[in-house]
Amino acid sequence: MNPWDYPPAPSVAVPDNPARRQLLAAGAAIASGLSLIACLPGQNATAIEGGFTGIEFERGHMLRDSYAWPASTVHCKTKVLIAGGGVAGLASARALRLGGVEDFALLELEDSAGGNARGTSVGGIACPMGAHYLPLPGDDAPDVQNLLEELGLRQRISGRWQYDERHLCHSPQERLYFNGHWQDGLLPVQGVSADTLSQYRQFATLVERARVQETWSLPAYKAGVTAFKQSLAALRFDDYLMQHGLDDAHLRWYLDYCCRDDYGAGIATVSAWAGLHYFASRHGFAAPGMDHMEREGLLTWPQGNGWLTQRMAAPLGERLHTARVVVRIVVGKHGVEVDAFNTASQVMERWQAQSVVVALPVFVAVRVVQNPPSWLQEAARRAVYAPWLVANIHIDKALTDHPGAAPSWDNVIYGESTQAPGLGYVDAMHQSLQSVPAATVLTYYRALGDATKSADLNAARKQLMQTAWQQWRDTILAELSVPHPDLPAKVRRIDITRYGHAMAMPVPSLEGRIGLRPAGSPDVSPRADRLRFAHSDWAGYSVFEEAFAIGHAAGTAAAKQYKA
């Protein structure tokens, strides 16, 4: 079934929503950016260096474009092969090592492992190319906890777990540019009406009621699926809010921001299950005055989660093979045959393995696995992916600030999509605690997954890929110049990374399905013969905890199978 073929709630009048207008407004925003940037004082846009970086689209498009592959001339053997080097693939490799399996190899499309959680540097300053933080994991994520202990990020002292404060996000953590001022926190509170505050409290009550009624966890599979959760998964978050009379513009903006930040699309696109899961699986929702609700602790680094993936990849050594396009995976009677094109040497390699962990996105896995099982084909039909843009903006001097909250790690601009279509920026030098603010990299994020039809989503993906770097530069600078008029004059370089299929989105389904796993399957990582499937796609949305749990389960199972 086409994932877009679900009806809205029949008795609900849904108001106009900024998320619904984002795609239509994108072209206008770029055009306005071009005109606005020309009027900004001190700006010479042509002096700003940069370009597109981070993703080798040509390699992936070889599969899409039916590239004429050469015959294999290099033959390799290994016990276990991992196809895909994102967080799930790296977690699988770690689980193999922990299980005593050293004879394995990992094939990765890009020039470095890490997937959407890689890091880079601009102007000599480390910065993320994607995922940029990790919430402190709870007891539902013991494998992630173990990883953090292994990396020295947490240790037990006097019977209690303590985290290395150097890696915890330093204060101030986040702020919002709202009504011409910076305020602490991202929920709009300065000068809002009593009705707005009342709706904040009403939503907090709904979240708390859901937490009492159901079990919620990260990773989500630990909590199981119930009839209540299925009813939420069949409904848009937007419609759920309207059914409960939650129509306040400030509340809806905040919830829309949260969903776009975690899922790549807003409340008009993602399911009500996803919207509630965002809060219920963590620390709930804190309305003003609810002081007993603590702010979520998180770990972050200048290069974002690239700090984690670099350390997960380091022990692999020569077992990590980058710049490989996995072309074909065939299960035979005595093993698995994998063809991988080495883009550096232009040679086709044929790998023989006893088993394979397919840590590829579902839409890629269904292309390369020969005679794919029906549930894999169904998952590929159901998967909906958000395009995503990340811009690393190198500035040579500290920015002049508007009144209000001090510069923070996370900085967000309030406004409708026509005014602030991005998700704000994080400051790469925030963790350095430099006494005098100076040069830094601002990492700006924009999710492009908001669409009401698959054709609109394809148009957004096309827009992402076909818009010139100079146009993206100008519209991003125009947006960030609202709170920072002096920004354009201080920018020296902007590197932009584009993800055409950044993450699977948790959109509603008529059946109330949560995630892409085969219906009724008890496996965290789906399996078929000698294949184990591991990717955040199977959870239906992309966060570190989900990808790591699925990858760890696949690697653990592969290690047990090998030893048996």
Which tens digits make up the pLDDT trace of 161-200?
A: 899 999 999 999 999 999 999 999 999 999 999 999 999 9
CA dist., res. 228 & res. 276, Å (int): 12
Per-residue pLDDT band for 23 (boundaries 50, 70, 90) equals: very low
Closest CA to 393 of 276, 265, 492: 492
Per-residue pLDDT band for 138 (boundaries 50, 70, 90) equals: very high
Mean pLDDT score, 364-378: 97
Per-residue pLDDT band for 29 (boundaries 50, 70, 90) equals: very low
CA dist., res. 26 & res. 30, Å (int): 6
Query: How many angstroms from the chain centroid is the CA of residue 3?
Result: 20
Cα angle 132, 133, 136 (rounded to 5 degrees) comes to 170
CA dist., res. 81 & res. 555, Å (int): 10
Per-residue pLDDT band for 16 (boundaries 50, 70, 90) equals: very low
Check residue 60 and give its pLDDT: 85
381 burial (CB, 10 Å; 0-12 / 13-18 / 19+) is middle
Query: How many angstroms from the chain centroid is the CA of residue 318?
Result: 28
- Give domain 57-119+304-383+515-563's CATH architecture: 3-Layer(bba) Sandwich (3.50)
pLDDT at 427 over 60: yes
Closest CA to 503 of 546, 466, 472, 468: 546
- DSSP symbols for 30-64: HHHHHHHHTTSTT--GGG-EEEE-S--HHHHHHHH
pLDDT at 535 over 90: yes
Contact 183, 403 (CB under 8 A): no
The single-letter code of the amino acid at 107 is L
Residue 282 in tokens: 């963590």
Mean pLDDT score, 367-382: 96
CA dist., res. 330 & res. 530, Å (int): 10
The domains of the chain are located at 57-119+304-383+515-563
CA dist., res. 391 & res. 380, Å (int): 29
Give pTM, 2 decimals. Answer: 0.91
Q: Higher-confidence residue: 336 or 283?
A: 336
Count of beta carbons in the 10 Å neighbourhood of residue 327: 18
- Look at 211-220, 244-253, 294-303, 364-373 and tell me which has the smallest mean pLDDT: 294-303
For helices 87-98 and 544-563, what crossing angle results, to 10°? 40
pLDDT at 367 over 70: yes
Q: What percent of the chain has pLDDT over 70?
A: 90
Pairing verdict, β 347-358 and 72-83: parallel
- Hunting for tokens 């790296």 — which residue is that? 90
Residue 339 in tokens: 């063809």
Helix (H, G, I), strand (E, B) or coil at 510: coil
Check residue 268 and give its pLDDT: 95
Check residue 520 and give its pLDDT: 80
CA dist., res. 326 & res. 370, Å (int): 12
Closest CA to 122 of 486, 491, 499: 491
- The dihedral through the CA atoms of 38, 42, 44, 47 has a sign that is negative
pLDDT at 8 over 50: no
Q: Which residues pair with 356 in a beta bridge?
A: 81, 531
pLDDT at 315 over 60: yes
Closest CA to 312 of 90, 529, 468: 90
Mean pLDDT score, 217-231: 95
CA dist., res. 322 & res. 84, Å (int): 10
Per-residue pLDDT band for 522 (boundaries 50, 70, 90) equals: confident
The single-letter code of the amino acid at 35 is S
Q: Higher-confidence residue: 19 or 38?
A: 38
